[in-house]
A and B are shown apart, each in its own frame.
Chain A
């Protein structure tokens, strides 16, 4: 089974990507989505009425590629994300500190690590009795085959497991 596929030489592409400390970050250019994936993204998108579309489904980059590589490539492994966070001087927010535009968010699933990432584009609204970090407006790309959308941090759904959103910043 799959015998002929094992013989095909992959045309995997990647770019030179390094952290601020000069450590290499392995990456790959994702293939373009097929029609089925585009339709599946349409179904996901239809479940989130308040998302604002920025870009239709495309390949090349995933959520981490949007956040850490300016949409040029896909970054896969948690370890590489942690290397970037460490080398680029990111820290988690202090208790009570609210995310600011330019900060990043990581969605972490119980027992499975990082499942998604996003970039903050708007701080949580202040006209509330309590400011909730998850109410920050963010931009993210849905996997390496989906589209890009602006949405509230908590307006995502990961079927199959619990997921929490944590914010990181490179501000002093």
Chain B
């Protein structure tokens, strides 16, 4: 059974509440500002919704694939791409990476939004890495007093370096 916060993604009301455009930038922006998407992101952050719940939900959606027909509830996949964009977990990497690699026309809008999310994520990492260089100029003893923010940015730079 799907988690209660995910159920609205399956309604026609949800599809009808999005701009009818194939433009992935516009779709991502509209999804980012969508109440349902915000509620899912909040539940995920609070821990009341797990990545396991998401995986089950996604697997259920994909079962609807039929060649030659737009995937039912396609925009639910796009919405989850937007939800997972800021998360740095193995699950979110796998989801965005694999969805972005799908070239089937039945998945087009969701795959395009996933690629757009990946591109935004990459840009955000670069900005954070740049900020890190500024924070790196702070002496180590002061950095410790600044708390977890600086340490977090160091971690992000390590991720950037590893990715490079």
Q: Is the CB of A109 within 8 A of B23?
A: yes
Inter-subunit contact A144/B94 (CB<8 Å): no
A159 touches B23 (CB 8 A): no
Question: Which of A3, A40, A145 counts the most chain B CB atoms within 10 A?
Answer: A40
Question: Given A10-B104, A146-B20 in contact, is the A32-B68 Cβ separation under 8 Å?
Answer: yes
Task: Bits for A53-66, please: 1 = Cβ < 8 Å to B, else 0.
Answer: 00000010010000
Q: Mark B20-58, 1 if CB is under 8 A from A, else 0.
A: 111101100111111000000000000000000001001
Complex-state Cα separation, A16 to B120, whole angstroms: 33
Q: A10-B104, A109-B23, A144-B22 are in contact. Are A159 and B30 (CB under 8 A)?
A: yes
**Which of A3, A8, A115 interacts with B21 by CB under 8 Å?**
A115
- B95 and A1 contacting across the interface, CB-CB below 8 Å: yes
Q: How many of chain A's residues have a CB under 8 angstroms from any CB in B?
A: 46
If A2-B98, A115-B21, A116-B21 touch, whether A11 touches B68 (CB-CB below 8 Å) is yes
Total residue contacts A-B, CB cutoff 8 A = 129
Chain A residue with Cβ nearest B31: A160
What B residues does A1 contact at CB under 8 A? 55, 58-59, 94-95, 98
Tell me if A43 is interfacial: C-beta within 8 Å of chain B. yes
Interface residues in A73-111 by Cβ distance below 8 A to B read 74, 76, 78, 109, 111
* In contact, A159 and B105 (Cβ under 8 angstroms): no
Taking A37-B72, A143-B21 as given, write out 15 further A-B residue pairs in contact, using a Cβ cutoff of 8 Å, ordered by the A residue number.
A2-B98, A31-B68, A31-B69, A33-B69, A40-B15, A41-B20, A109-B26, A112-B25, A112-B26, A115-B21, A115-B26, A116-B20, A142-B20, A160-B34, A161-B19
